[in-house]
């Protein structure tokens, strides 16, 4: 019994932390000066548009400042310059109103064309629902039975400076989004809580994730590779720790990958049902619970369970965590409306929820001795 449980446990853990990008080469961009060209036709056009704008602005700047510097040098009193008396020339003033106007029209045409092209997300080959929540992304393939959460994979010790930082510091996730190359991917972007913004610079895609509304964007990645971005809209405490990683694979490889994922997720669901019949021991629940807690809860409630006073409530010694067990389980499953507490029903398996509830009820001096099992969670979820 215990052994089966362990096997399933390791399998689920493996599923959660699969590094699917092992076989693809990781291109670390060394761009630190300019916008990147990216890997889609659109992103290359955006880059060209950016360079065009940049050059026009530099030319205007050099012209205006040039005249100004010439006059600062030659028309100074110390060189004996006598002030002229000219002012108000209708011709000159019309000229310097019309000329910028014509330049602007010249810019507006290509910009409009490009924008209309960018906003046309029709007839996609693959559709992915991207949902932001504090502080992770959830990806759901609309045409397949595959969905998962994607969280930052950089260790806290790297952030706190206790160990050296890796090359992809803050730009690495546990489970990247995988897409096929050469196919039109439509991203439906939304949020479960505050506004986030899903940004992949290499695709020139930045789309706000608004709670209650769905935006779309699209990309056709021309080259296989790993593309990294970040959340671009301030979304609370860990806004800086919400990376986006997308892997583009050849279509054949992608098909293989998605089929594998479907099988794994199907199997995981079956395993979860089977787990309902089993019981964890206290040490097992505490070990797994601590892992789950640190990965999902500690960002707000803090590793020591004390929360952030006034913002995120403490669990240590809280009424719910030491007394009201049904409410504790219900909060884990449904979240708390009107607060930052999310629903974990979809994010964690029932045995994980059971483990973390057990952990919270016994850690940091909350010594209730309560041991919650997956079937207890199942009972609440199914309204029993």
Residue 129 within binding range of another protein, rule CB under 8 A: no
Residue 163 within binding range of another protein, rule CB under 8 A: no
User: Among 18, 24, 127, 215, which residue interacts with another protein (rule: CB under 8 A)?
Assistant: 215
Taking the complex as a whole, how short is the minimal distance between the CB of residue 134 and another protein, in angstroms?
A: 8
Taking the complex as a whole, how short is the minimal distance between the CB of residue 54 and another protein, in angstroms?
A: 7
The residue among 241 and 257 lying less far from another protein, judged by its C-beta, is 241
Residue 114 within binding range of another protein, rule CB under 8 A: yes
Taking the complex as a whole, how short is the minimal distance between the CB of residue 52 and another protein, in angstroms?
A: 9
135 prior amide bond cis, ω within 30: yes
Binding to another protein (CB under 8 A) within 170-199 occurs at: 170-171, 189, 193-195, 197, 199
User: Among 57, 266, 277, 282, which residue interacts with another protein (rule: CB under 8 A)?
Assistant: 57
User: Among 131, 133, 134, 378, which residue interacts with another protein (rule: CB under 8 A)?
Assistant: 134
Span interacting with another protein, options 33-41, 264-272, 321-329, 364-372, rule CB under 8 A: 33-41
Residue 204 within binding range of another protein, rule CB under 8 A: yes
Span interacting with another protein, options 13-21, 96-104, 142-150, 349-357, rule CB under 8 A: 96-104
Binding to another protein (CB under 8 A) within 234-263 occurs at: 234-241
DSSP, collapsed to helix, strand or coil, labels residue 326 as helix
Q: Which residues contact 254 (CB under 8 A, 6 or more apart)?
A: 178, 179, 180, 181
* 152 vs 169: CA distance, rounded Å: 10
Residue 230 within binding range of another protein, rule CB under 8 A: yes
Give whole-number Cα distances, 49 to 43, 57, 198, in Å. 10, 12, 22
Span interacting with another protein, options 10-18, 80-88, 257-265, 314-322, rule CB under 8 A: 80-88
* 44 vs 117: CA distance, rounded Å: 13
Residues linked to residue 190 through DSSP beta bridges, in sequence order: 131
* 98 vs 5: CA distance, rounded Å: 77
Q: Report residue 99 as tokens.
A: 């000329």
Q: Which residues contact 213 (CB under 8 A, 6 or more apart)?
A: 190
The residue among 166 and 326 lying less far from another protein, judged by its C-beta, is 166
Are 196 and 150 in contact by the 8 Å Cβ rule? The answer is no
The residue among 259 and 311 lying less far from another protein, judged by its C-beta, is 311
Residue 55 within binding range of another protein, rule CB under 8 A: no
DSSP, collapsed to helix, strand or coil, labels residue 365 as coil
User: Among 11, 20, 129, 159, which residue interacts with another protein (rule: CB under 8 A)?
Assistant: 159
The residue among 88 and 123 lying less far from another protein, judged by its C-beta, is 88
Taking the complex as a whole, how short is the minimal distance between the CB of residue 163 and another protein, in angstroms?
A: 11
Based on the number of CB atoms within 10 Å of its own CB, is 52 exposed (0-12), middle (13-18) or buried (19 or more)?
A: middle
The residue among 238 and 290 lying less far from another protein, judged by its C-beta, is 238
Chain centroid to CA 351: 26
Conformation bin of residue 211: beta by default, left when phi > 0, alpha when psi is -120 to 50: beta
* 126 vs 353: CA distance, rounded Å: 32
Binding to another protein (CB under 8 A) within 313-372 occurs at: 337-340
Are 294 and 303 in contact by the 8 Å Cβ rule? The answer is yes
Residue 142 within binding range of another protein, rule CB under 8 A: no
User: Among 4, 7, 54, 367, which residue interacts with another protein (rule: CB under 8 A)?
Assistant: 54
Give the count of residues interacting with another protein (CB under 8 A): 103
* 134 vs 110: CA distance, rounded Å: 37
Binding to another protein (CB under 8 A) within 275-294 occurs at: none
Q: Residues 342, 343, 347, 350: is their CA dihedral positive or negative?
A: positive
Binding to another protein (CB under 8 A) within 13-32 occurs at: 28-32
Residue 169 within binding range of another protein, rule CB under 8 A: yes
* 274 vs 277: CA distance, rounded Å: 6
């Amino acid at each position: 019994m215990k052994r089966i449980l362990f096997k399933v446990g390791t399998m689920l853990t493996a599923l959660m932390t699969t590094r699917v990008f092992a076989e693809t080469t990781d291109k670390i961009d060394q761009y630190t000066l300019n916008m990147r060209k990216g890997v889609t036709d659109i992103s290359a056009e955006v880059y060209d548009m950016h360079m065009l704008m940049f050059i026009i602005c530099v030319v205007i700047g050099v012209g205006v400042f040039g005249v100004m510097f010439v006059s600062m040098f030659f028309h100074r009193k110390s060189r004996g310059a006598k002030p002229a008396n000219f002012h108000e020339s209708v011709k000159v003033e019309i000229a310097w109103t019309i000329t910028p106007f014509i330049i602007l029209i010249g810019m507006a045409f290509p910009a409009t064309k490009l924008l209309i092209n960018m906003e046309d997300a029709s007839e996609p080959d693959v559709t992915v629902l991207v949902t932001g929540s504090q502080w992770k992304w959830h990806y759901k393939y609309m045409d397949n039975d595959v969905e998962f959460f994607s969280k930052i994979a950089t260790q806290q010790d790297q952030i706190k400076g206790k160990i050296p930082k890796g090359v992809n510091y803050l730009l690495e996730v546990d489970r990247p989004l995988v897409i096929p190359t050469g196919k039109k991917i439509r991203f439906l972007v939304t949020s479960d809580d505050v506004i986030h913004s899903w940004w992949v610079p290499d695709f020139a895609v930045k789309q706000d994730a608004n709670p209650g509304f769905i935006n779309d964007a699209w990309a056709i990645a021309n080259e296989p590779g790993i593309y990294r971005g970040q959340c671009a809209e301030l979304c609370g405490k860990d806004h800086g720790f919400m990376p986006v990683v997308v892997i583009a694979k050849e279509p054949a490889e992608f098909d293989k990958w998605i089929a594998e994922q479907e099988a794994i997720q199907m199997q995981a669901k079956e395993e979860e049902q089977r787990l309902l019949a089993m019981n964890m021991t206290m040490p097992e629940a505490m070990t797994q619970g601590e892992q789950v807690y640190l990965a999902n809860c500690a960002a707000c409630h803090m590793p020591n369970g004390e929360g952030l006073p006034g913002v995120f409530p403490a669990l240590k010694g809280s009424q719910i965590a030491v007394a009201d067990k049904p409410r504790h389980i219900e909060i884990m499953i449904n979240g708390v409306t009107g607060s930052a507490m999310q629903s974990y029903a979809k994010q964690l398996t029932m045995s994980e929820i059971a483990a973390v509830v057990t952990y919270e009820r016994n850690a940091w001096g909350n010594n209730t001795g309560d041991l919650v099992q997956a079937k207890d969670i199942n009972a609440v979820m199914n309204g029993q």
